[in-house]
Structure 1
Amino acid sequence: MSQTGYQPPAPGSKIIIIGAGAFGLSTAYALSLKNKYDIWVFERQTIPSPDAASCDINKIMRMDYGDETIYMHMYMESLHIWEQWNKERALKGLGPVFHNVGNLMFSQNGKFSNYEEQSLKAIREAGYGHFIEEYRTPESIAERYPQFKEATKNGFDIAYLNKSGGWCDSSEACKHIHSKCVENGVHFVLGPEQGSFEKFLYDEKISTKITGIKTQDGKTHDADLVILATGSWTPSLLNLGDRLIATGQTVIQFKIPENLRKMFEGQPTWCADLSVTGYYGFAVNSEGKMKIGYHSSGYVNLREEDQVSVPRTQVTNPTDSIPIKALGEFRQFLSKFLPITTPMDITYARVCWYCDSVDGHYLIAPHPDFDNLIIASGDSGHGMKFIPNLGFKICHVIEGVDSEYSRAWAWRDMPKDTATYDGLRADSGPKIQLDINKQDQYTRMATKDDCKCARPSL
């Protein structure tokens, strides 16, 4: 779908992609398969980029999207590619990037939440009901998954398993698709100077026509099309109104003792009535690490001059963990859901930055105020699972193809006072988000001692 003023690139065009996270890498790969463009990717760090959301030990793979079936179908399409990637890696002696252990979706008080009900309806109507196993009693859950016995006693007493899901090793997936891009002739410019975007270049006669970019090393790079795929940094690089906001989401890890690892190895990922509590978690990985996250409207880090939220990460603030308020909330929730973690130290914690769109859909579209610029952002916390195939849908936008994807992600107004995010947040909707930079009793960063479990002492 071509917007007014936007012209798709001609064969032979030079395309610059700023950012090598999930969106940028997926776009570069899809474009490279067309074998008709000169593709350049600029990234200020290594791949995977240490402070990108895509750089992580794991991300949930799920087809459960309530009534947003566009993403359910994208997920089912992606599965075949994930499985192919596992085969490619096995031939090279590398471990899998997709672990098909299923998703265990909990609800409370004997009734599925609206989100789970909508998901089940959409999945069955699409013909995927064979992936679903329901557990209608706490006893049936505890018998099948004894590690969640205490959770069932505390109200999480109904669940369903979606056998199509699981988790991906997101950092390794980024490395894998990067290598495929390189094989296909994509040029990568990496580093804090040569790969770091500074500003756009404009036509001398047409002030709204972008002709390339300038990098931090002072060099200029001409392009026929520029794609801004900078994740949570996007709102701070270009005025997008209230359409996108960088939000900090909290995650923690435990190092599970050897004698307990068998209990958590190979288990499904789990969502603890996610649209109500916000908590989700993973199996133990090969290094004994178990990650748990909180999916919410998040924290912000407001820039003084314009109050735009800018990511604050461990790259620039290496001693950061998570706000003390979030740490206490994790402990409180886990004392009921997974009390076996109570005597364990939290061994790692970080704020993971989403680029949230107000309505939870991606924003992938030509910018209406500039020629030759496409925004590819608004991951809203659910982009990584689509890294194998999202780029093909982004190509619909780049090449002016009218499809359900280019329509769903088009440039649009998103009233901030009606925010829904992705419909799966514990506190979605209008909310005062805590400014992570204030360092008060709620947002000061937890110390290493704070992250240790409370132990009695004389």
Structure 2
Amino acid sequence: MTKVIIVGGGCFGLSTAYALSLSEEYEVWVFDRQQIPAPDAASTDINKIVRFDYGNDDIYMRLTMEALPYWQQFNKERAEQGEEPLFHQTGVLMMSSNGSYSEFEKRSLKKIREAGYGHVIEELLTPESIIDRFPQFKDGVNNGFNIGYLNKAGGWCNSAEAVKHMYKKCVEQGVHFVAGGDQGTIASLYCPTSAGNVEGIVTGDGKVHVADKVVLALGAWTAGVVDMKDLVVATGQAVVHFQTKGALREQFDKNCPVWCADLSRTGFYGFPVNADGKMKIGTHNSGYLWPREDSVSIPRTQVAFSSDTIPLSALKQLRTFLNKFIPPTVSMDISYCRLCWYCDSIDGDFLVSNHPEYSNLIVATGDSGHGMKFLPNIGFQIRNVIEGISTDYTKKWAWRNLDASETKLDGLRQGSALSRGIIQGPDEEMRLVSADELCAGRASL
């Protein structure tokens, strides 16, 4: 039997653990520094988008199409347990501005139709058609977001609950977990015979855990644990919640689609109001850095810095955008905010590969802000890497010999412009705002 240690119990780690557990060949152990779901993991959230609109990147389109039946199966399993669904097929509304689609949306439509899924697309080619279909976006339409399409197959998942569900499935399959405190925290790789021969891990309590193979599925923490040669970097992305009530809650209720407001140009997206009345709005752009003394950016989260908020620049951009897109929020306090930490790869593609400087070490990382939708099925492709099986996916996610100067963002990022500020740096725009500044009318904007 092959013993595999997976470090990280988030989306990639749990999916891999489950895929391996289906084979009697493996003994699977998962280590995580916190109880699962870890409160500051990117996957621990109230919702994430499930879409297969990917421009020319049809490999992720296909992977999402493969994931959808699994999400429906998860919903059936949850129903049998008397619990709410994980996947909500509200549709994803891709809105553009000035009467024309962005290049990303044009390419997405072309690829979706070529794949035989044209029937899930509903185009809204006039301002009136958008308002008739979704009157809650009237203000946004009148301010220039006036063409779009609805992908009726997409929607959102309750990501924290989905992680819990996959965790339960792993436990039922006999996966072993060591979570929380020093006992679940990796201190170093265990290489007793030579510097590049990994034979397990050492945890924070000083104990050695031997294994035949080690998988690092640490998300944004990856580059802080092992040298990734600048192929991945931890970036923080601003997310806010509004606590809705009255007309706004009714307008953006469960029948509202996930929306992307000319995302490749503005960076803004949002969700229907959830059962607790929370409306989440986020940004998808080049993000913020928090470098250590060695210049490696690592996540700065509310687990260690409980009063952290978002940078002033992010707050300004958000309030300015919402003034045009959802004006009622201008008079509302932001009820919650955080930086959601991506593990951005150098080119927007996942990085799932044997590490070239270590034997028996696989890295499964580089989510680049679009990994959660693949929770049900990406583990099978990561298992293929572990087993040395070549597929279209494993080829695309292989180790790349690229220099940091070659960094580019995925096509859905705001302008695909690389401009990363350093939070808490000397620039006033990079300071984290106070709690008062999250209140309507009291922010220094």
Q: Give 1:240 deviation, angstroms.
A: 1.1
Q: Give 1:429 deviation, angstroms.
A: 4.0
Alignment of 1:353-364 (within 5 A): 353-364=341-352
Distance verdict in 2 for CA 1:455–1:403, change over 3 Å: closer
- Spell out, residue by residue over 1:401-442, the C-alpha distance to the aligned partner (whole angstroms, 9 max, x if none): 0110110000112332232222211142443x2111326411
Instruction: List gaps (5 residues or longer) in structure 1.
Output: 1-11
CA distance in 2 between partners of 1:277 and 1:417 (Å): 24
CA distance in 1 between partners of 2:244 and 2:312 (Å): 22
CA distance in 1 between partners of 2:175 and 2:426 (Å): 43
Alignment partner, residue 278 of structure 1: 267
CA distance in 1 between partners of 2:403 and 2:109 (Å): 30
Alignment partner, residue 7 of structure 1: none
Equivalent residue for 2:362, pick from 374, 381, 392? 374
Q: What one-letter code is carried by the residue in structure 2 that aligns with 1:338?
A: I
Alignment partner, residue 432 of structure 2: 445
Alignment partner, residue 389 of structure 2: 401
1:108 paired with 2:97, answer yes
Alignment partner, residue 240 of structure 1: 228
Alignment partner, residue 68 of structure 1: 57
Q: Give 1:23 deviation, angstroms.
A: 0.5
Verify the 8 A CA contact 1:367 1:375 in the aligned structure 2: yes
Q: Give 1:22 deviation, angstroms.
A: 0.4
1:322 paired with 2:295, answer no
Alignment of 1:149-298 (within 5 A): 149-204=138-193, 206-266=194-254, 267-298=256-287
Q: Give 1:241 deviation, angstroms.
A: 1.2
Verify the 8 A CA contact 1:439 1:445 in the aligned structure 2: no
Verify the 8 A CA contact 1:109 1:156 in the aligned structure 2: yes
Query: Could you say what secondary structure the match of 1:375 adopts?
Result: strand
Alignment partner, residue 38 of structure 1: 27
Alignment partner, residue 387 of structure 1: 375
Q: Give 1:81 deviation, angstroms.
A: 0.6
Q: Give 1:455 deviation, angstroms.
A: 6.9
Q: What one-letter code is carried by the residue in structure 2 that aligns with 1:449?
A: D
Query: Could you say what secondary structure the match of 1:397 adopts?
Result: helix
- Spell out, residue by residue over 1:8-66, the C-alpha distance to the aligned partner (whole angstroms, 9 max, x if none): xxxx0110000001010000010011121010000010111111100000000100000
Alignment partner, residue 58 of structure 1: 47
1:342 paired with 2:330, answer yes
Verify the 8 A CA contact 1:254 1:346 in the aligned structure 2: yes
CA distance in 2 between partners of 1:88 and 1:439 (Å): 51
- Spell out, residue by residue over 1:213-256, the C-alpha distance to the aligned partner (whole angstroms, 9 max, x if none): 11011111000000000000101111111100000000000000
Verify the 8 A CA contact 1:344 1:452 in the aligned structure 2: yes
Q: What one-letter code is carried by the residue in structure 1 that aligns with 2:323?
A: S
Equivalent residue for 1:98, pick from 87, 109, 112? 87
CA distance in 1 between partners of 2:188 and 2:442 (Å): 52
Instruction: After superposing the two structures, state which structure 1 stretch, 178-187 or 238-247, moved more.
Output: 238-247
CA distance in 2 between partners of 1:71 and 1:311 (Å): 26
Alignment partner, residue 3 of structure 1: none
Query: Could you say what secondary structure the match of 1:141 adopts?
Result: helix
Alignment partner, residue 72 of structure 2: 83
Alignment partner, residue 400 of structure 2: 412
Verify the 8 A CA contact 1:251 1:349 in the aligned structure 2: yes
Alignment of 1:112-151 (within 5 A): 112-151=101-140
Verify the 8 A CA contact 2:248 2:328 in the aligned structure 1: no
Query: Could you say what secondary structure the match of 1:346 adopts?
Result: coil
- Spell out, residue by residue over 1:148-185, the C-alpha distance to the aligned partner (whole angstroms, 9 max, x if none): 10111111010100001110000000000000000000
Q: Give 1:259 deviation, angstroms.
A: 3.9
CA distance in 2 between partners of 1:303 and 1:442 (Å): 20
Q: What one-letter code is carried by the residue in structure 2 that aligns with 1:445?
A: L
Verify the 8 A CA contact 2:123 2:149 in the aligned structure 1: yes
Q: Give 1:447 deviation, angstroms.
A: 1.5
- Spell out, residue by residue over 1:173-214, the C-alpha distance to the aligned partner (whole angstroms, 9 max, x if none): 00000000000000000111110000011132x331111111
Verify the 8 A CA contact 1:396 1:405 in the aligned structure 2: no
Q: Give 1:358 deviation, angstroms.
A: 1.1
Give the aligned CA root-mean-square deviation in angstroms: 1.2
Q: What one-letter code is carried by the residue in structure 1 that aligns with 2:320?
A: Q
- Moved runs in structure 1, 4+ residues, more than 3 A? none
Verify the 8 A CA contact 1:359 1:414 in the aligned structure 2: no
Instruction: List gaps (5 residues or longer) in structure 2.
Output: none
Distance verdict in 2 for CA 1:217–1:450, change over 3 Å: same
CA distance in 1 between partners of 2:426 and 2:308 (Å): 11
Q: Give 1:301 deviation, angstroms.
A: 0.2
CA distance in 1 between partners of 2:7 and 2:46 (Å): 24
Q: Give 1:258 deviation, angstroms.
A: 3.4
- Spell out, residue by residue over 1:52-91, the C-alpha distance to the aligned partner (whole angstroms, 9 max, x if none): 1000000001000001111101101111010011111111
Alignment partner, residue 331 of structure 1: 319
CA distance in 1 between partners of 2:102 and 2:23 (Å): 43
Q: What one-letter code is carried by the residue in structure 1 that aligns with 2:129?
A: S
Distance verdict in 2 for CA 1:439–1:174, change over 3 Å: farther
- Spell out, residue by residue over 1:347-387, the C-alpha distance to the aligned partner (whole angstroms, 9 max, x if none): 00000000000110000000111110001000000000000
